[in-house]
A and B are shown apart, each in its own frame.
Chain A
Amino acid sequence: MAVDKKFIGKKYPPVEYEVCKEKVKEYATAVGDLNPLYIDEQKAQQSRYKGLIAPPMFAVVYTKDAIAQVMFDRELALNLPMLVHGEQEYEFVGVVRPGDVIETEAYVADIYEKGDKDFVVAGGISKKKSDGSIVTRGKWTFVIRR
């Protein structure tokens, strides 16, 4: 059963996430990327960033709940046990720091079939709540075997 293309363009409510330095440290430790800019306040202070920053891929954390809305959308009704994460893309537009509140809006970017598989591409645009500036644009490609 193919996923209905009529859902291309569907938008979901924005989801807010407040970046905190302890969560950033936990993420950096989990992926084993201990760049001092992420975890060492003093060294980060002396850098061109003048303070701690989040790893760019921390986007995974602040976009997760927004994208989960697409995955678990009852209208789309994706067959989750048959779903794998095929591709991922992020554009890093702005620097994210502890203290930033990030708002992510998810949407269905594309739906297509190839062979016996369905492809659903979810998009997510994340902005700083304080000034509305874009920090990341992401694309999640889910592959669903039939």
Chain B
Amino acid sequence: MAITAKIGDVFTLQKEVDKYRPIFYAGASGDFNPIHIDAEFGKMVGLGGAILQGLCTMAFVMQTVSEWSHDPYKVKKLKVRFAKPVLPEDTITITGRVASIDNNTAHCELIAKKQTGDEVINNAFAEVDLG
């Protein structure tokens, strides 16, 4: 199914990070780094608690793009920069914008912010096949 897209199109998704999300994600991904599952350890190393795995936030960004594209494998490339940690009970809003289109590929710019307005992922880009 082809996607209709034009430059400037915007799409968003909101994700709630519940208290146990880093633990679920640890089990599913195998990333059991103590900074993700041990709040005391997280505090000790100055993170303010156990933080969500960055790659889980990246999965939220991927979901945002793949829901827009209606087909996950139309997303050909995704690049993100982890700007700030996400903590349990944060609400993350991901916004994508079609920056340019060439050769039937949409180049999207993405950003993820938490409820405070702080950017948790920035300098993020996706390439989506519009064919």
Contact = CB atoms under 8 A, between A and B. Distances in A.
Contact of A91 (B1, B56, B58, B77): B77
A48 B45 CA distance: 47
Interface string B21-35: 100110111110000
Interface string B51-64: 00011101110110
Interface residues of A, number: 31
Contact of A61 (B29, B60, B63): B29
B11 interface: no
Interface in A53-76: 53, 55-57, 60-61, 64-65
Interface string B1-35: 10000000000000100000100110111110000
Contact of A56 (B28, B30, B72): B72
Interface string B102-131: 000000000000000000000100000000
A87 B27 CA distance: 22
Taking residues whose C-beta sits less than 8 angstroms from the other chain, chain B's interface range is: 20 to 34
Given A53-B72, A64-B31, A31 B80 contact: no
Interface of A: 23, 26-27, 29-33, 35, 37, 48, 53, 55-57, 60-61, 64-65, 81, 84-93, 95
Interface of B: 1, 15, 21, 24-25, 27-31, 45, 54-56, 58-60, 62-63, 66, 71-73, 75-82, 123
